[in-house]
Structure 1
Amino acid sequence: MATSSSSCEIEQLQKGCYYEWMSVQATHIVDLKEVLTSHRSKDDHKLEEVVGKIVNDFQKYTEKRSELSRRSCSSYFAPSWNSSLENGLLWMGGCRPSSFIRVIYSLFGSQAETQLSQYLLKVDENVEENHGGSMSDLNATQLVKINELHMNVIEKEDKITKKSANLQEDVADMPIAIAAYATDLVDGDVLVEDALDKHEEGMAVLMTEADKLRFETLRKIVEVVTPVQAAEFLLAGKRLHISLHEWGRVREERRFGCARTDAAAATGGAGTEESKRSATC
């Protein structure tokens, strides 16, 4: 098991990895907004290029997380760099892959409702013309594939959750339970240390499995939808992530007076400013 000093160093690396990713996401948001604004339905090349880069960046991020989790995994399940709000929403060190699909359903419903309102109010049909192929235009074939993916992802999530539950139950097994009962302070017991190391290794394996599912879900969604729809989905997801981080920070600052400035410092303020804008979008 890592010493307290090396554990602190590893946690700092994990924290730096997270804030680097937040900064990258802020850049992604700017790129997505720009490419959606300038998009013309006859030319999807630029959209595909931006979407492809974002998918590749997410894969690199999950791979880096996996590498760091093998050195020490516990921090990812209650990150010190997150607010309590964010940690309360975590599943296996991140968001649920099925939540990606819930974002699609939300966008689909919201945009369909907006288009219906415009139709009833006889608003000029050209208002949304530059966003042809948006999420409200999901066809029956796409919806069937997304629904099938949703069910498949939920099934895989449940399997990972059950594995996690089994690992948690193992903590109450030998030799940990006996050692805890027999002594007031458990310190330096080789058997206990080995058992805890094994538990953490198991959690690292599960988190890597969860990250792979997150990436595969994202990749498959992008394959099903059009380039415009993929860009809209990615923009919504990234805004949600950054906004939740900011909302959680603001709530803790308001409730407890514990302002967190490390995120702004790590991202050069880009993520914070974008999240403030996102909160009003």
Structure 2
Amino acid sequence: MTSHAQDRFSEFYAKWLNQYEANLKELLSVSRDPSHGHLHQALISKVMTHYKEYYTVKWATAKDDVLGFFCPTWFTPLENAYHWMTGWKPSMVFRLIASLHKSQDPVSKIEELRFRIRIEEDRVDREMERQQVSIADKPMVDLSRLATQVKNGEVVGELEKYVDMALSSLLVGLEQVMKMADCVRLKALKGVVEILNPLQSVDFMAAIAMLQIQLRKAGKRADHGKIIKHQKG
């Protein structure tokens, strides 16, 4: 059963995704003439604003239900399988750049950015590990001990109070990890478009959108296939 926050974000995401697909069409159809850099730049700004809207709403919703973003119902299982800390992995963008642009001009700057992003990803991984290990910290151990104190079938002590306190701390930590990861994603996008020229940035943004949309479509086909197989079985 989904929470109200999850339902609310799922509705937002459906609308956001429709605009995302519309943005992709614009990216693919915009003039390829390098002299139209002002058009390319305006389109990139529009796409970046759309990305930022997603994270703004995501962070606001996470205050009510952060766990929903670690097991999102608005993504297919295939999308979730490829996700990292509630979204796409930032280092993915550098593989796309390598396949799109053979020019050597921006390579050194791209490599510097890739190195910085990798360091940021490692920081997020370490923080997530710290949050996972914290489950065995003293407050949680005390909670486990308290839960074993049963008298006449009833738990002795204010168990619910301790549960709420321990859970609250864990949720705050998970929200921090999610935001850290999202910030790295935005840094990767912003960093790349600042290095590439406007037309290259258009190709880059189109490639990311195409990848995410095609992954989603593949996930839906896989889900549909499972349903049909189950019905036949």
Task: Give the TM-score, by structure 2 length.
Answer: 0.87
- Is residue 71 of structure 1 aligned with residue 64 of structure 2? yes
Given residue 104 of structure 1, which amino acid in structure 2 is its aligned partner? Answer: I
Out of 176, 179, 192, the position equivalent to 2:143 is 179
1:56-92 Cα shifts (integer Å, max 9, x gaps): 2211221221111122101111111222211111111
Whole-Å Cα distance in 1 between the matches of residues 227 and 6 of structure 2? 24
Q: Match for residue 199 of structure 2?
A: 228
Whole-Å Cα distance in 1 between the matches of residues 227 and 139 of structure 2? 40
Q: Match for residue 146 of structure 1?
A: 110
Structure 1 residue 155 displacement after superposition:
0.7
Q: Match for residue 212 of structure 1?
A: 183
- Is residue 243 of structure 1 aligned with residue 214 of structure 2? yes
Given residue 57 of structure 2, which amino acid in structure 1 is its aligned partner? Answer: K
What is the number of residues matched between the two proteins?
A: 223
- Is residue 155 of structure 1 aligned with residue 119 of structure 2? yes
Percentage identity across aligned positions?
A: 25
Question: Does the 8 Å contact 1:160/1:206 carry over to 2?
Answer: yes
Q: Match for residue 10 of structure 1?
A: 5
List alignment gaps of at least 5 residues for structure 2: none
Whole-Å Cα distance in 2 between the matches of residues 19 and 100 of structure 1? 24
1:4-24 Cα shifts (integer Å, max 9, x gaps): 9xx711111221232222112
Out of 17, 23, 26, the position equivalent to 1:22 is 17
- Is residue 202 of structure 1 aligned with residue 166 of structure 2? no
Question: Does the 8 Å contact 2:82/2:88 carry over to 1?
Answer: yes
Whole-Å Cα distance in 2 between the matches of residues 258 and 221 of structure 1? 43
Structure 1 residue 176 displacement after superposition:
3.1
Q: Match for residue 126 of structure 1?
A: none
Question: Does the 8 Å contact 2:143/2:159 carry over to 1?
Answer: no
Q: Match for residue 53 of structure 2?
A: 60
Structure 1 residue 180 displacement after superposition:
4.0
Structure 1 residue 170 displacement after superposition:
1.2
List alignment gaps of at least 5 residues for structure 1: 108-134, 260-281
Whole-Å Cα distance in 1 between the matches of residues 141 and 83 of structure 2? 27
